[in-house]
Amino acid sequence: MSAPEGRTSQPSFGRYRDPSLLGQGGMGAVYKATDPQLDRFVAIKVLTHREPKYVERFRREAQVLAKIMHPSIIQIYEIVGSDEEQLDPYIVMEYFEGKPLDTMLKMGPLPGKTMVNILRQTAEGLKKAHSNAVIHRDIKPANIMMAANGDVKILDFGIAKALDAKKDLTGNTVLGTPYYMSPEQAMGQPIDARTDIYSLGITAFHLLTGKRPFEAKSKVDVMLMQVKNPLPSIHDSVQGVDDRLVKIVERMCAKQPQSRYQNTDELVAALDELPKSLGGRVPDGSGDSQPSVSAKRAPQPPPPPPSTSQERPVKASTPNVPPVRAEAPRPGTPRPASSPAAAPVRAQPPQAQTPGRTPRQPTMPPVTPARAAQAMGVSGTPVPRPDVFRGPPAAVPKPSRAWVGIVIGAVAGLVIAGGALVWFLKAKDANKPGRVPAKGWIYPGAPAPPLKKVQANGGYGNCVFSTKPIEAGKEEAAQMRTIFGTNEGIHGRCYFAHQVGPNKAGEVWQELWVDGVKRAQIIYDPPLPNDDDQLQLEPGVQHASRINELPSGKHVFSLWIYRQGEDAENPEPLAAGEFTVRK
């Protein structure tokens, strides 16, 4: 157990002796100790946060580690502590003499061969986890250690997800590290083994370049970049990286899961196809192991003139498409001769073509003297002349005045009926469940923030939205929006009518209504600070998957923040806001 607060005595862990602190965080600490019975060092991970939810998650980590024994995964020996005991629970596990990769990165990027070794061992360990229906969800340099002899270990399965678990201990919260998080994980979508492959790919990018691919001021903006921004060029960050390594990393980091390696077996197979000099299995000097190194990208030279007999290959830059290696021509197969450059022609609509045939060009009918004469109006057949003025047209009888009155009355009736229909539809739309009132908002006066308003009929606050993060105390009314496109960021801030007050995990939540239908409920865990009277929202990230699934048209998003204490019979609305998404 760990030492109680306020005391500096050495902690005691049963038979384990001479504990020394290796590291400490908000949830617990890790010690190095000696097991005198087996004469070996052990690592002891202590949980000092005693809430039942975290205790259960802590035990789940021990259970996960116990069933996925693999040389690339830290092994567990035992777990000590129960709910009845007053001791902090702890896990006794294998002690590994190595350094976390984030510590090694402080010295600069790692060589490509070292990176391949790390990828292979980590992928093999993840293969074992995935075969037991366990997704790590937090692969990053800090959770991978490497020893001096090159051995690699995966750490921290604390937020791992068991795909066959009946209960997900993480709830609706998006867990993981934004800098290495997959797009589907950032959007709260279902995840599988390809999520860990993406995170391992971002880790590989960091190892090769010495920096993370996506950086921003806030974690939410980093998550948005993971979803929308393409992977930066590795060649633009560092020189001398083999193109084959770059292709592997780029495929691992594809935005769409179906464009990545579908499992760790495919990834390991791609690594094995590299030459031994890069950490692969192919002997150096073979046809497939010829070096292909690109320095920093420079302007390409102009293409050769048409008379040159050898063509210059051009790379296509299609995003998220797995790279395909060109196969060498079989022996005896004649090499196609390059054709001279063709003169530019006007683009034609795509047509179905027979392979191996040149599409026929449209031809104009032959111009004969007779056809030309006919076109000029000098053929034997007289060409009709345009109409000439032959006087005013025949008079049209005027309608009677009775008919005029009837027409006017009918038009007026249609106008009135149309106006009534529009009013009815608006009233019906405004009365849909979940809609936020459009009227009744009152500014409470200074010193309240200038954008804060309180609903007179409900006593709750308002929410405002913008394409940029809304910082407290720096709100600008001109930047606020109520209509957004699907390709725009959506950030929000809610103002409570009063401080949220004492609250526990699960007592404050957010409800999302789309076009009058409830679509999501997000529980705030950990609880909000008691003195909070504002709440920052990121609907563009939290509800990105729902925005992407919208059909074409306008859609109203209504957000409500509720709180319900243990003794309250009904939930209390804290704030509400509304915006429209056009797709």
d(CA 84, CA 4) in angstroms, rounded, equals 17
Query: Could you count the other beta carbons within 10 Å of the beta carbon of residue 527?
Result: 17
Which H or E run includes 102?
Answer: helix 101-104
- Whether 459 contacts 557, CB under 8 Å: no
Q: Given this model, what pLDDT does residue 424 score?
A: 54
Q: What single letter denotes the amino acid at residue 509?
A: W
d(CA 74, CA 77) in angstroms, rounded, equals 10
Residue length, the chain? 583
Q: What single letter denotes the amino acid at residue 211?
A: K
d(CA 410, CA 338) in angstroms, rounded, equals 75
What's phi and psi for 442, nearest 5 deg? Answer: -130, 135
Q: Given this model, what pLDDT does residue 190 score?
A: 86
Q: Given this model, what pLDDT does residue 156 score?
A: 81
Provide the token pair at 25: 């965080």
| Residue 576 β-bridge partners | 462, 560
Among 481, 539, 485, which Cα is nearest to 513's? Answer: 539
d(CA 62, CA 65) in angstroms, rounded, equals 5
Pairing between strand 461-466 and 483-485?
A: unpaired
| Residue 555 β-bridge partners | 581
Q: Given this model, what pLDDT does residue 400 score?
A: 55
Q: Position of tokens 């009227």? A: 439
Largest CA distance in the chain: 123
CA triple 209-215-216, angle to 5 deg? 170
| Residue 510 β-bridge partners | 522, 561
**What is the mean pLDDT of each successive set of 10 residues along the chain, which is 583 residues long?**
48 88 79 92 85 73 79 87 65 91 93 96 95 90 94 81 49 70 89 95 96 90 92 92 96 96 96 94 73 48 41 39 41 41 40 42 46 42 42 49 65 66 53 84 92 93 95 90 93 94 84 86 82 92 83 93 82 94 93
Buried b / exposed e across 361-394, counting CB within 10 Å, b at 16+? eeeeeeeeeeeeeeeeeeeeeeeeeeeeeeeeee
d(CA 217, CA 563) in angstroms, rounded, equals 30
- Whether 76 contacts 119, CB under 8 Å: no
d(CA 260, CA 252) in angstroms, rounded, equals 5
SS3 371: helix
What's phi and psi for 582, nearest 5 deg? Answer: -100, 130
- Whether 176 contacts 185, CB under 8 Å: yes
d(CA 123, CA 116) in angstroms, rounded, equals 10
Pairing between strand 28-35 and 40-47?
A: antiparallel
Q: Given this model, what pLDDT does residue 329 score?
A: 42
d(CA 283, CA 11) in angstroms, rounded, equals 53
d(CA 283, CA 275) in angstroms, rounded, equals 6
Q: What is the pLDDT of residues 96-107, one digit of tens each?
A: 999 999 999 999
Peptide linkage before 447 cis (omega within 30 of 0): yes
Domains of the chain: 17-94 (3.30.200.20), 99-284 (1.10.510.10), 441-582 (2.60.40)
DSSP secondary structure, 136-180, as one string: ----SGGGEEE-TTS-EEE---TT-EETT-SS-TTTT---S-GGG
- Whether 483 contacts 580, CB under 8 Å: yes
What's phi and psi for 554, nearest 5 deg? Answer: -100, 140
| Catalytic (active-site) positions | 138
